[in-house]
């Protein structure tokens, strides 16, 4: 089995479009990219394995347990073929991806070579669906696609047109040149931020009122976590400062040094520190910020704190006057702790027009000396706090740099990095 830089695994499942993958492999081999092919048993009924073996120079993987398998050899060698292959990948492409394969991976089912490698690899995974248009729009498939997107999988949607089954509509495998371009793009990005040390803050702060009651907000931390994961996927050293209530990354640093989520390089992991109050978060940023060169301050820090914390539990049968006072803005202090850091702040607004939203972003950028402000309108349904999707406006000192329309937060994170690091 080969072990060279830029190794792509292509998982071929049983769509009629499987024959098109031959052209994709030829394009990749022209670019000197090593390719390993995995085929489902049903896919081998559509196209002969030998066609791929001739182009790649490697055997096609189809059976988890080949003829003559002896578990004793595994116990001695400590090496399992499909796990070794999973570790070698710089990128895994599933093309064409049938509804069946998508459903299995989304639900953690690993019952053949392709799905086992998909769940075992820590490389980014590009999924290229191809199926009947009614299947593509089936709620079960839609849900499974959303699940994969939320885990950081890259989805290249099918095209619309005339399908092999005779139907017309969405479901046709994306054009091979489009898939090829995306593969090259993802591989090129894996070391894009290598050498950068990035802090990302995520989630809402919790400010105590008494021993059991708190002031908080609806932030889930999903946007910050998506940014941390994308920075790590592109090669950066990442410190994630996350709220105790935030949606945790599956790519935290652990003692084994093994990545735990699709889409991330092997080894290391995202270093994580947990905060509760704004004061906790402030102290963590002050402690670390001088050693980092970029910070995405995406945490939703409470604008108010209780003037006085009550010891014990407030009697729920008696009236109680709660007095709040404004909390210091952490974002406005970061540049004083490290003037050289690239500072990307986040601002939530509520039901503003585009012009007012940009104005609010510019005002916050000036107040905080940020290099960029990312603004989103949390008053709009389906985006912002606690949702799968987001829509943001990126502001720099010259004004509106880019509007990223509604998309999964993992995709929004990728596009934010493209804007911020466009000159890298």
- All domains in the chain, ordered by first residue: 7-189 (3.40.50.1950), 197-420 (3.40.50.10300)
What is the residue whose two structure tokens read 């793009």?
Answer: 185
Tokens representing 262? Answer: 């699709």
Strand pairing class (197-202; 168-172): unpaired
**Edge-to-edge strands of the sheet including 237-243?**
271-275, 237-243, 197-202, 294-297, 342-349, 372-377, 389-396, 399-408
Burial class (CB in 10 A: 0-12, 13-18, 19+), 199: buried
Task: For residue 274, give the nearest of 249, 294, 303 by alpha carbon.
Answer: 249
Query: What's the angle, vertex CA 63, arms to CA 62 and CA 69, rounded to 5?
Result: 145
Per-residue pLDDT of the chain (424 residues; tens, 9 = 90+): 444 458 899 999 999 999 999 999 999 999 989 999 999 999 999 999 999 999 999 999 998 877 766 666 666 665 666 677 888 888 999 999 999 999 999 999 999 999 999 998 888 899 999 999 999 999 999 999 988 887 878 899 999 888 777 778 889 999 999 999 999 988 888 888 989 999 999 999 999 999 999 999 999 999 999 999 889 888 899 999 999 987 766 555 543 333 334 444 434 578 999 999 999 999 999 999 999 999 999 999 999 999 888 999 999 898 999 999 999 899 999 999 999 999 999 999 999 999 999 999 999 999 999 999 999 999 888 887 888 899 999 999 999 999 999 998 988 999 999 999 985 4
H helix and E strand count, the chain = 14, 19
E strand or H helix that includes residue 242: strand 237-243
């Amino acid at each position: 089995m080969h072990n060279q830089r830029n190794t792509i695994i292509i998982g071929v499942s049983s769509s009629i479009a499987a024959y098109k993958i031959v052209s994709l492999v030829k394009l990749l081999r022209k670019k000197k990219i090593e390719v390993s092919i995995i085929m489902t048993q049903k896919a081998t009924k559509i196209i002969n394995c030998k066609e791929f073996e001739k182009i790649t120079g490697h055997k096609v993987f189809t059976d988890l347990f080949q003829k003559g398998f002896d578990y004793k050899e595994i116990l001695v060698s400590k090496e399992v073929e499909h796990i070794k292959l999973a570790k070698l990948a710089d990128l895994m492409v599933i093309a064409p991806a049938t509804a069946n394969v998508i459903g299995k991976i989304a639900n953690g089912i690993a019952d053949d070579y392709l799905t086992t490698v998909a769940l075992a690899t820590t490389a980014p995974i590009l999924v290229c669906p191809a199926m009947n248009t009614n299947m593509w729009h089936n709620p079960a498939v839609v849900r499974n696609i959303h699940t994969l997107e939320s885990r950081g999988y890259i989805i290249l949607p099918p095209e619309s047109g005339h399908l092999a089954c005779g139907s017309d509509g969405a479901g046709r495998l994306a054009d091979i040149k489009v898939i090829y371009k995306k593969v090259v793009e993802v591989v090129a990005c894996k070391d894009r931020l290598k050498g950068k040390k990035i802090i990302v803050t995520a989630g809402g702060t919790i400010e105590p009122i008494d021993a059991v009651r708190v002031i908080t907000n609806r932030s889930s931390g999903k946007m910050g976590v998506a940014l941390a994961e994308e920075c790590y996927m592109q090669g950066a050293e990442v410190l994630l400062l996350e709220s105790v209530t935030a949606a945790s990354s599956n790519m935290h640093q652990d003692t084994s040094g093994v990545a735990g989520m699709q889409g991330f390089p092997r080894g290391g992991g995202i270093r994580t520190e947990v905060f509760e109050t704004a004061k906790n978060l402030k102290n963590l940023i002050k402690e670390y910020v001088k050693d980092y060169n970029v910070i995405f301050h995406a945490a939703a820090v409470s604008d108010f704190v209780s003037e006085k914390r009550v010891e014990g539990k407030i009697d729920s049968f008696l009236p109680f006057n709660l007095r709040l006072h404004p909390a210091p803005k952490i974002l406005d202090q970061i540049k004083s702790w490290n003037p050289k850091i690239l500072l990307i702040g986040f601002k939530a607004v509520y039901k503003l027009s585009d012009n007012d939203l940009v104005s609010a972003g510019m005002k916050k950028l000036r107040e905080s000396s940020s290099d960029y402000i990312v603004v989103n309108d949390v008053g709009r349904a389906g985006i912002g706090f606690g949702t799968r999707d987001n829509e943001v406006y990126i502001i720099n000192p010259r004004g509106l740099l880019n509007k990223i329309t509604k998309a999964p937060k993992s995709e929004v994170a990728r596009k934010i990095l493209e804007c911020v690091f466009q000159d890298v």
